[in-house]
Amino acid sequence: MHLSSYDIKAGGRRSIRVMDNGEGMEGDDALLSIERHSTSKVFRDADLFRINTMGFRGEALPSIGSVSKMRITTKPDGSLAGTHVYSEGGKIKEVSEAGCPEGTTIEVNNLFYNTPARLKFLKTDNTELGHIVDVVAQTALANPEIHFKLVHNGTVIINAPITKNLMNRMTELLGRDVYGNLYEVLLTQEAIDIKGFISQPNFTRSTGRAIYTYVNRRFVRDKVVNHAIMEAYRTLIMKNRYPVVILFINIPVHWVDVNVHPTKREVRFQEQQKVHDLIVEALQGTLRKAPWIKERLVIPYEMPPVDSTVEDHSHRIAEDLPVYSFSPLPLFFSSLIPISQVKDTYILCSCDEGLILVDQHAAHERIIFETLKEEYLNSNVVSQGLLVPQHIELSYREARFLEKHISKLSEVGLEVEPFGGDTFIVKSVPQILINKDYRQLIMDIIDGLYPYGKSFKLEESIEKILILMACHGAIKANQRLSPREIETLLQQLDRVGSSTNCPHGRPILRKITYQEIDRMFKRG
């Protein structure tokens, strides 16, 4: 099949006509297709556990035909004549030969004409059309080798021609702004193949409607898959923002059950945790590389030797981080030429393509977070005891909550002990947080974790604590930095993953190209 066309009138209330130029059906099969529970996809019981087709229950056409006036015109390849079947309310009224092209056309008129109670629950034409557009777009994204066309009341809504390049199909359906903001994901492990495109952290939507996930080319809204996607972006995008994702998961058919929900939008994996972890690994593999800045703006640059004579700035900027275990990234930030500080908050730099503004607090926050996280994962958090332990008095609820989470704090280098009643003392802190406001840090940790109670997993709780610690330990806005401190900060950014967003999801940098500057001044 090379063409799938949809002609809609009045949002589908008046008429829905679906046409293709596929294999078509013989006359007997055309009659059988509108019988309840008849299907050509299942031949034996075992096939129910190896489903690799979109439909298999034999319910769609009979159900639609029972509440409409329906026409089926079909002709298989090589036949001289096709077959025409007309039914009203599920009862066949006419069967005849028909002259028609190869393929199948199904026309549904006067939907719910015989069930007025159901008819009144249809929404406005625009709302119903929106649902139709969503379904066609979901199907078209997974099938770029087929030409999809959707027409409503004579107006073309979607016209997606055949293409070998999935990016062309995505641009056609999701808008031209996705071009240049989506990056490829590829991971194959055992028999599971994960591929697709994901957006950079600064290219997000206010809802999850731009997340398209497919299991064996079937569009799904699965909790396991969606959780894995958001897990990969957890410290990269702001709260209540969602990435643009087109993800295809190919898995052996006997490892997944698609027969768990009436709409077949949900699936159940045989090994849910494995699938979940592989999706996270695949997405993070792309996100860590930050190709949206590394590929476009990087200038060839050689790692400078470490200068051991430079004065110690550890009280404001952490020491250089060890290079992470994943593949080395191009040194983008180190290649920038610092110009000045703006409002003692942003670092203005230049590069070959334009000007770069770096948020010093967000940048340092990401550096500290990645440092603490690496130390925690290696069970090597560097703590320093306080010469004078700091006392903290809490309310009754806060004190009881802190008592339950003291062990978590000790794992990240915060040694806190009860001191009687609702009072606690802070005895040691991570070295990177020396001379910070420890009381406010503890209060923020309690406020951050308390609303979630036991719903947080241990890993999420630790990560939340690390984010708060990074925020408290980072350089602040309106803080003056020396040229050497700016240089050190930029070098450190090249040595951490996800260096384009702080752990809260705010952007670390913004670029203004020389072309944009020229346009501002009406040049060129």
The pLDDT of residue 137 is: 95
Q: pLDDT band for position 461 (50/70/90)?
A: confident
Dihedral angle, C-alpha 36, 37, 38, 39, nearest 10 °: 140
Could you write out the DSSP letters of every residue in 232-252?
Answer: HTTTTS-TT-EE-EEEEEE--
Cα–Cα dist 273/517, whole Å: 49
pLDDT winner (highest mean) among 204-213, 252-261, 308-317: 204-213
Could you write out the DSSP letters of every residue in 113-180?
Answer: TT-HHHHTT---HHHHHHHHHHHHHHHHHH-TTSEEEEEETTEEEEEE---S-HHHHHHHHH-GGGTT
Quick check: 321 pLDDT over 70?
Answer: no
Cα–Cα dist 255/269, whole Å: 6
The pLDDT of residue 379 is: 83
The pLDDT of residue 329 is: 44
Q: What is the pLDDT of residues 403-418, one digit of tens each?
A: 888 888 888 889 999 9
CA 197 to chain centre: 9
Q: What is the pLDDT of residues 62-107, one digit of tens each?
A: 999 999 999 999 999 889 999 999 999 999 999 999 999 999 999 9
Cα–Cα dist 486/480, whole Å: 10
- DSSP 8-state symbol, 70: E
- DSSP 8-state symbol, 514: H
* Crossing angle between the packed helical segments 458-473 and 438-449, to the nearest 10 degrees: 150
Cα–Cα dist 457/447, whole Å: 17
The pLDDT of residue 58 is: 66
Quick check: 47 pLDDT over 80?
Answer: no
Alpha helices in 386-456 (DSSP H): 396-411, 438-449
Q: pLDDT band for position 305 (50/70/90)?
A: very low
Q: What is the pLDDT of residues 149-194, one digit of tens each?
A: 999 999 999 999 999 999 999 999 998 889 889 999 999 998 999 9
Quick check: 428 pLDDT over 60?
Answer: yes
The pLDDT of residue 330 is: 54
Mean pLDDT of 30-38: 87
Give percent of the chain above pLDDT 70. Answer: 89
The pLDDT of residue 441 is: 85
Token pair, residue 462, equals 């630790």
pTM, entire model:
0.75
User: Bigger pLDDT: 109 or 431?
Assistant: 109
Of the listed ranges 135-139, 345-349, 454-458, 501-505, the least confidently predicted one is: 454-458
Mean pLDDT of 317-331: 42
Quick check: 463 pLDDT over 60?
Answer: yes
Q: Report the DSSP pairing between strands 245-250 and 211-215.
A: parallel
Mean pLDDT of 492-507: 86
Average pLDDT, the chain: 86
The pLDDT of residue 221 is: 92
Q: What is the pLDDT of residues 113-151, one digit of tens each?
A: 999 999 999 999 999 999 999 999 999 999 999 999 999
Domains within the chain, CATH numbers bracketed? 3-161 (3.30.565.10), 180-289 (3.30.230.10), 298-524 (3.30.1540.20)
Cα–Cα dist 133/157, whole Å: 8
Token pair, residue 469, equals 């610690």
Closest of 178, 176, 177, 197 to residue 186, by C-alpha: 197
Q: pLDDT band for position 55 (50/70/90)?
A: low
- Separation of first and last alpha carbons in the chain: 48
Cα–Cα dist 333/317, whole Å: 16
Quick check: 452 pLDDT over 70?
Answer: no
User: Bigger pLDDT: 432 or 221?
Assistant: 221
Quick check: 518 pLDDT over 80?
Answer: yes
- DSSP 8-state symbol, 455: G
CA 143 to chain centre: 20
Quick check: 327 pLDDT over 80?
Answer: no
For residue 27, the surrounding DSSP H or E stretch is: helix 27-32
The pLDDT of residue 307 is: 37
